[in-house]
Structure 1
Amino acid sequence: MFKQIVLAAALSVASAATFAAPVTYDIDPNHTDVIASWSHFGFSHPVAHFGDVDGTIVYDADNVGQSSVNVTIPLSGLESHVPDFNDHLRSADFFDAGQFPEITFKSSKVEAAGDSKLRIWGELTVHGVTKQVLLDTTINKLGVHPLGKREAAGFDARTMIKRSDFGVGKYAPNVSDEVEIRITVEAMVPKAE
């Protein structure tokens, strides 16, 4: 009888540990987009897309504070849909992609912020300059992806940054210093080896 109780307790603890384990997802670059938008002399609000995003999201539903985000955005994936403007953005006038070929974000704190909402603080590095930013984040969906047949997660996030904080403030204020960043992410548990 004592052995059965010990076994039942051990199974219960193992089951709880399995349920509470954080889940690690790899970002799917084909369904992830980082979009920057700004004011151009007040006449329009152009956008640039940053694709080929690579990174990892760890999400712990039972202990959100243990969650984390680590992302790399290569400037080779920058796309404004205007080839000359792509080149200008990658030039020394702005990102200087030859010297600083990628943007990175590494979370420092994650907290729950209501139903399906998170606040994610982290270190954003652009143009060799690192600043703390806050991502207001929505959990779109957690579950098995119908195409990949693996656990998946989807998030949207927003933040506002000042270009001048990162040394890419050329033409401000005519081209707005403030840039809105919108992010949409799909991520999946890696395939088993």
Structure 2
Amino acid sequence: MFKRIVLTAALATASFAAFAAPLTYKIDPNHTDVVASWNHLGFSNPIAHFGQVDGFITYDPDNVGTSKVEVTIPLAGLDSHVADFDEHLRSADFFDAEKFPTITFKSTKVEAAGDKKLRVFGDLTVHGVTKPVVLDTTINKVGEQPMAKRAAAGFDATTTIKRSDFGVGKYAPNVSDAVTIRITTEAIVPKADAAKK
């Protein structure tokens, strides 16, 4: 009986340690969305979704400063729900997706910002132009994802950028230069065999 109690305690400790230790999670594109919103001539506030997101998040709750984020967002995943507008956004008037097919973000620093809050500093590259941005981030949940049976982490983040800083300022200021970006992401530790590839 005593051995069984000791074994159970050891397993519980090991399980807790697994989630407390720094882990690298692969972003799940099926549960990740990047949403951009702006003002159109003062009349409306359209949005566009950026899907097919790929990347990794390394998160260490005990040493937040060692956490990292690296993300690639293909413009092929752009979807405003208006096909003609999507085509226009991908054209040389805006993203010039043929020449610059992806948006990337790579963190340079992560710091704690209160209960379940982080500030993620990094370099955002859009249209071939790289600028520093800060993501105000909420930690939604860290633990076992019950469907995948593996460690997972979920975050929401927001930032506001000036699109003219990245060379996509057409029609500003009538169409707002400021673009608000909202991100929700779920990321899961890869399977052992996948991690080796």
Give TM-score, length-normalised by structure 2: 0.88
- Take 1:182 and 1:148, find their aligned partners in 2: how far apart are those partners? 25
Question: What letter is aligned with 1:58?
Answer: T
- Take 1:82 and 1:96, find their aligned partners in 2: how far apart are those partners? 18
| C-alpha deviation, 1:192, in angstroms | 1.7
1:142 aligns with 2:160: no
Q: For residues 36-65 of structure 1, what are the alpha-carbon distances to aligned partners after superposition, in whole Å with 9 as ceiling and x for unaligned?
A: 000000100000000000000000010000
- Take 1:82 and 1:18, find their aligned partners in 2: how far apart are those partners? 44
2:41 aligned residue: 41
| C-alpha deviation, 1:147, in angstroms | 1.0
Aligned Cα root-mean-square deviation (Å): 1.7
- Take 1:152 and 1:49, find their aligned partners in 2: how far apart are those partners? 23
Deviates more, 1:142-151 or 1:95-104: 142-151
2:69 aligned residue: 69
Q: For residues 155-183 of structure 1, what are the alpha-carbon distances to aligned partners after superposition, in whole Å with 9 as ceiling and x for unaligned?
A: 00000000000000000011100000000
2:172 aligned residue: 172
| C-alpha deviation, 1:110, in angstroms | 0.1
2:154 aligned residue: 154
SS class of match (2:154)? strand
- Take 2:45 and 2:21, find their aligned partners in 1: how far apart are those partners? 43
- Take 1:180 and 1:75, find their aligned partners in 2: how far apart are those partners? 17
Number of equivalenced pairs: 180
- Take 1:18 and 1:163, find their aligned partners in 2: how far apart are those partners? 41
Q: For residues 111-134 of structure 1, what are the alpha-carbon distances to aligned partners after superposition, in whole Å with 9 as ceiling and x for unaligned?
A: 000000000000000000000000
Where does structure 1 differ by over 3 angstroms across 4 or more consecutive aligned residues? 17-21
Unmatched 5+ stretches in structure 2: 1-13
SS class of match (2:89)? helix
Question: What letter is aligned with 1:154?
Answer: G
2:82 aligned residue: 82
| C-alpha deviation, 1:146, in angstroms | 1.3
Q: For residues 44-98 of structure 1, what are the alpha-carbon distances to aligned partners after superposition, in whole Å with 9 as ceiling and x for unaligned?
A: 0000000000000000010000000000000000000000000000000000000
CA contact (8 A) 2:54 2:71 kept: yes
Change (3 A) 1:18 1:47: closer
Give TM-score, length-normalised by structure 1: 0.90
2:117 aligned residue: 117
Change (3 A) 1:148 1:18: closer
| C-alpha deviation, 1:21, in angstroms | 3.2
Question: What letter is aligned with 2:104?
Answer: T
Task: Report % sequence identity.
Answer: 76
